[in-house]
Amino acid sequence: MSSANANSSAGSQHVSWMFELTINDGRDSDFRALAAEMAAATERNEPGTLDYEWYVSDDGRQLHLFERYADADAAMIHMETFDEHYMARFFDVLTPTRLTLFGAVDERVRAGMAELAPQIVTRAEGFSR
């Protein structure tokens, strides 16, 4: 049974990730502007996005970006929008350090994230509301 099927039988189709990045030196204002723009557009245009939260470390250097989607289709919509509108600016301002994918991660999501070499974890136990 694939990991996506294992999560399906557990009752949740949610796809989530925690993306950890470093804010590049001298790019704080660019980061803040990009974060605000992306959060507003995602909230406005992507109803399948359940959580989209940007957390910054106390020293202002590390970003933890938590995203949760209703299902793989909603995650793919976000990834396509990101590729088209934000990817170049995002990776100009931020340097990836770690990406962890959670939940019903299907082959499309895996392929879309493959270049970032994510760790993929599946639910062992628990619930999602």
116: domain CATH number? 3.30.70.100
Classify residue 33: in a domain, yes or no: yes
pLDDT tens digits for 56-96?
A: 999 999 999 999 999 999 999 999 999 999 999 999 999 99
**Amino acid sitting at position 92:** D
What is the per-residue pLDDT for 129?
Answer: 76
What is the per-residue pLDDT for 123?
Answer: 86
Classify residue 128: in a domain, yes or no: no
Classify residue 129: in a domain, yes or no: no
What is the per-residue pLDDT for 122?
Answer: 87
Residues in contact with 44: Cβ distance below 8 Å, sequence separation at least 6, in sequence order = none
Sheet of strand 119-121, all strands in order from the earlier edge strand to the far edge: 49-56, 62-69, 15-23, 94-103, 119-121
Q: Residue 78: give the domain boundaries.
A: 3-121
pTM for the model stands at: 0.87
Q: What is the 3-state secondary structure (H, E, C) of 90-105?
A: HHHHEEEEEEEEEECC
Sign of the C-alpha dihedral computed for residues 56, 39, 91 and 33 taken in this order: negative
The total domain count for the chain is 1
Classify residue 97: in a domain, yes or no: yes
With residue 122 as reference, give the H or E element that holds it. Answer: none
Bridge partners of residue 18, in order along the sequence:
66, 100
